[in-house]
Amino acid sequence: MARIGVITFPGTLDDVDALRAVRLAGAEPVSLWHKDADLRGVDAVVVPGGFSYGDYLRCGAIARFAPVMDEVIEAAGKGMPVLGICNGFQILAEAHLLPGALIRNDHQRFLCREQRLRVESVSTAWTGLFEQGEEITVPLKNGEGNFIASPEDVERLEGEGHVVFRYVGLNPNGSVNDIAGVRNARGNVVGLMPHPEHAVEPGFGPDSPTGPRTGTDGLRLFQSAISMLVGA
């Protein structure tokens, strides 16, 4: 059975939700602590959402220097699947595992809503079970989710197919080109601002065509990684 670690930093809010998502997807969830320079032999890592270290300085700027992140950076360089969700995306950007940066929402407000996304890249460790161009719905909740990058980096992201998710219907934070999530060149590291771990179980997810609170689109991100690991 694949083992997927979920890191907890001071201020992390969604680690328990991510651990549950891993378990529902069919892998063994493993709790990882920010102070420990040890990934405990996991096959993949999730850096979950929240407000690590109170978001002092910049979101993710302190967490990037936690001992566990040195291990994540090294493992990602060797091809380990790594998923950053919301604050986790911010941390991966601060660690230079992903391009760009996340700044304050253009409307200067925290926003929580069900968000439509379009899957732009299925050639990643976390999106292999989606269809190219498929639209999904997952919750979004952030105050600093505005993705920015230099014009050169945006051109490269678009030209090389490294945009993974794009906002549909509404750009909730002003992100350039409606970008909701990106990948590294290898495709093993993915970051997105919306929260797939909140759309993994009927009765607790967003609304879907089958009824209120029935959406489970987020589960496939975790199942995609498991499928890749098991098949490797």
pLDDT in tens for each of the 232 residues of the chain?
999 999 999 999 999 999 999 999 999 999 999 999 999 999 999 999 999 999 888 899 999 999 999 999 999 999 999 999 999 999 999 999 999 999 999 999 999 999 999 999 999 999 999 999 999 999 999 999 999 999 999 999 999 999 999 999 999 999 999 999 999 999 999 999 999 999 999 999 999 988 999 999 999 999 999 999 998 6
pLDDT of residue 99: 97
The DSSP bridge partners found for residue 166 are: 118, 179
Q: How far apart are CA 66 and CA 174, in angstroms?
A: 29
User: Which residue matches tokens 């934070």?
Assistant: 173
Q: How far apart are CA 77 and CA 28, in angstroms?
A: 23
The DSSP bridge partners found for residue 85 are: 192
pLDDT of residue 57: 82
Q: How far apart are CA 165 and CA 185, in angstroms?
A: 15
Cβ atoms within 10 Å of 141's Cβ, excluding its own: 19
Q: Pairing state of beta strands 135-142 and 189-192?
A: unpaired
pLDDT of residue 5: 98
End-to-end C-alpha distance for the chain, whole angstroms: 12
Torsion angle of alpha carbons 121, 203, 143, 149, nearest 10°?
Answer: 0
pLDDT of residue 231: 83
Residues with catalytic annotation?
86, 195, 197
pLDDT of residue 232: 64
Q: Is 30 helix (H, G, I), strand (E, B) or coil?
A: strand
Question: What tokens were used for 170?
Answer: 């509404």
> What's the length of the chain?
232
Q: How far apart are CA 3 and CA 119, in angstroms?
A: 25
pLDDT of residue 203: 93
What pTM, to 2 d.p., does this model score? 0.97
pLDDT of residue 19: 98
Q: How far apart are CA 78 and CA 98, in angstroms?
A: 15
The dihedral built from the CA positions of residue 145, 18, 1 and 42, taken in this order, carries a sign that is positive
